[in-house]
Amino acid sequence: MSQSVRRISMPEASRKISLKTPKKTDHNQIFKRRLVVLSGCCLLLFGILFGRLIVFGMNPMEAVAKVASSAAVLEKPRADIVDRNGVLLASDIQVPSLFANPQKIENVEETLDQLALVFDDLNWDQMRRRLNSNARFAWIKREISEEQKQKLHNLGIPGLFFNHEKKRIYPAGNLASHVLGHVNIDHVGKAGLESFINYFQTEKIANYRQEDAGKIYKPLVSSIDLGVQHVMRDELSQAIEKFDAIAAMGVVLDIHTGEVISMVSLPDYDPNIPKQALETKRMNRTTGGVYELGSVFKLLTMGMGLDYGVTTLEGGYDATDPLSVGRGKFIGDYHGKGRYLTVPEIFKFSSNIATAKMALDVGKERQQAFLRKIKLLDKLETELPGAGIPQYPSDKNWKRVSTITISYGHGIAVTPLQGVAAAAAMMNGGYYVPPTFVKRSVEEAEYYRERVIKPETSRDLVGLMRLNVLEGSGKQTDVDGYLVGGKTGSAEKPINGKYDKDKLISSFLSVFPTDKPKYMMLVSIDEPKGLPETHGFKTAGWNATPTTANIIKRIAPLLGMAPRFDNIKIDGNNLLAKTRN
């Protein structure tokens, strides 16, 4: 079918086009419409805010508390803490807290009487003052139990409200208290690794959920082995009871990574009851206290002398007569031999005289340089706060007598952990590795380590430690199958500027296994008493030494060490000859 096309003249086309031209825009009308819409939105927003204010006015503190609690979860999260094997040591849970709006309290005395049905530990005078105030908010008790919350619900006391807060819990109780530390009521770390978490957070968890007590971060993996920690605490507790001591402490260190596998200081405390930590007797002695370690220090002096080359294993010193320290005073040997002693004999007989002569050959300046190199003259910084500051003579007062007494562990006081870390450098091939309470790999440790003695010096010192267990004061730690080496130390405690011979800190420093050293341990018992079975003696060979043996027997399997009964118990001379080859 053909399609007809109508032709339109130009004037007609012009008329048709002009009919489709839009009218002129009225900008005033558009502005008015927009203004109406905007005004409506503003009224709606103010209406919502006004409504919220009414809610807050009707029940202000409950609403504020809920918002504050929710914000706290987001703003102050704390990572869980686990041991090196993933066992939970510290975590957060949500718990109710009780507060009041005093303006809503109908009868203060009745309210106090009803609260007494649930709580028996409130400060009632303080509560009375709070509830009689004109304030709109007053804490009654924070971190209450669900049972207490239910009782309060049943009582229906007007003017009381609940708020949910985070509470830190420690499932192991006292077991690792000085490592973990604790938090205060506001969830801020006040000691131990909890203080460390205040300033350091682990990697964030992907897709975390706020309702999971605000667990935003991955757990902090500590260096502690909870199984080893249990054994250490158990054996030290038994030692305190058996020897009627006032305190005890112990440390197990991986000498290659610097990881603290166990650290116990007794008396300790329950971090679930943080106020216990305020008692002086419960202080962390291993990192916070400084002590003269006695003859265990001779390992360091021996390492210093051998490494500086002032003597060798074939050398020796005359210990026939006491050594003068001036002003008519002399130092002698406990059960001295009264003769010339070889270097191995100096160590196994623990000769003060010969050790002091070795230190005098080294000299003051080199002695100071060596002690500084192994970090004994500076505060030891770890993840735990509150480290003790070493005490020793100033350079001006570091006299000949200082060089002498420091050589055998008197006249210088360091933290036990400091002493163990320095001794570890003598055993691990000659590297000082800073100790840590956070799990660390060998590769990470290599980044931090620094050489302080030659490898051959370390080899000789390991042989001397084994010799002392075979033939010297450490015989009671010769645990079958584990090739233990060690050194005793019995330090008289300074009381009012004088040494008290009746008050000792008895210590045993051990390393195992000596054919391939891996772990170093220090056990110290504060003021042990003599027993009939110890013939009245209270020196380390009678208490710290057997305690160490008991610990090694129990922890070696936990550390993956199988006993080796194929080793032959050779004598000291053969042992030292073997170490030199």
Which one of 205, 221, 237 terminates a domain? 221
Integer Cα distance of 449 and 445 in angstroms? 6
Whether 177 is a known active-site residue: answer: no
Tell me the two tokens of residue 274.
Answer: 């943080």
215-219, 297-301, 531-535, range with the lowest pLDDT = 215-219
Residue 145 buriedness (CB in 10 A; 0-12 / 13-18 / 19+): exposed
Q: Same structural domain for residues 240 and 172? A: no
Q: Is residue 308, in this structure, part of any structural domain at all?
A: yes
Work out the angle between the directed axes of helices 298-308 and 364-373 (0-180°, nearest 10). 110
Would you say residue 93 lies in a domain?
Answer: yes
Output the CA–CA distances (angstroms, integers) from residue 546 to 412, 487, 524, 555, in the order listed. Answer: 27, 13, 12, 14
Is 312 within 8 Å of 344 (Cβ atoms)?
no
Q: Of 434, 423, 557, 535, give the one whose Cα is nearest residue 485.
A: 423
Q: Are residues 137 and 238 in the same domain?
A: no
Checking if the pLDDT of 205 tops 60, the result is: yes
Q: pLDDT (tens digit, 9 = 90+) per residue, 123-174?
A: 999 999 999 998 889 999 988 888 999 999 899 999 999 988 888 999 999 9
543/18: higher pLDDT: 543
Residue 254, classed as helix, strand or coil, is strand
Considering its fold, how many domains does the chain have in total? Answer: 2
Other CB atoms within 10 Å distance of the CB of residue 556: 20
**Same domain for 258 and 304?**
yes
Domain range enclosing 123: 70-221
Q: Do the domain assignments include residue 10?
A: no
Q: Are residues 458 and 556 in the same domain?
A: yes
**What is the pLDDT, as a whole number, of residue 64?**
46
421 neighbors 432 (Cβ within 8 angstroms): yes
Q: Specify if 9 maps to a domain.
A: no
pLDDT band per the 50, 70, 90 thresholds, residue 536:
very high
What pTM value is reported for the model?
Answer: 0.82
In a domain, 120, yes or no: yes
Last residue of a domain, one of 155, 188, 221: 221
What CATH code is carried by the domain that includes residue 434? Answer: 3.40.710.10
Answer with the residue of higher pLDDT: 275 or 58: 275
Q: Is 30 inside a domain boundary?
A: no
Query: Are 187 and 237 contained in the same domain?
Result: no
Distance, CA of 103 to CA of 88 (rounded, Å): 44
257 shares its domain with 364: yes
**Per-residue pLDDT averaged across 361-376, rounded?**
98
Q: Which of 222, 223, 295, 506 is catalytic?
A: 295
**CA 330 to each of CA 318, 399, 404, 442: distance values in angstroms, whole numbers, following the listed order:** 15, 15, 11, 46
In a domain, 294, yes or no: yes
For residue range 390-425, what is the model confidence (pLDDT) as tens digits?
999 999 999 999 999 999 999 999 999 999 999 999
* Same domain? 236 vs 207: no
Q: What is the CATH number of the domain that holds 94?
A: 3.90.1310.10
Identify the CA nearest to 100 among candidates 85, 70, 122. Answer: 122
pLDDT tier for residue 531 given thresholds of 50, 70 and 90: very high
Are residues 207 and 245 located together in one domain of the fold? no
Domain match, 236 and 385 both:
yes
Identify the pLDDT of residue 163: 87
Shared domain for 263 and 245, answered yes or no, is yes
Does residue 59 form part of some domain?
no
Q: Which helix (H) or strand (E) holds 366?
A: helix 364-373
Q: Whole-angstrom Cα distance, residue 478 to residue 471?
A: 10
For 236-263, what is each residue's pLDDT tens digit? 999 999 999 999 999 999 999 999 999 9
Task: Say if residue 194 is in the same domain as residue 231.
Answer: no
Residue 153, Cα to own-chain centre: how many angstroms?
Answer: 41
pLDDT band at 61 (very low <50, low <70, confident <90, very high): very low
Which of 183, 200, 221 is where one domain is finished? 221
Helices (H), 200-245: 226-243
| One domain for residues 378 and 276 | yes
Collect all residues with Cβ–Cβ distance below 8 Å to 564 and sequence separation of at least 6. Answer: 481, 482, 483, 513
- Give the DSSP H/E element, type plus range, for residue 424: helix 416-427
DSSP string for residues in 36-104:
HHHHHHHHHHHHHHHHHHHHHHHSHHHHHHHHHHHHHHHHS----EE-TT--EEEEEEEEEEEEE-GGG
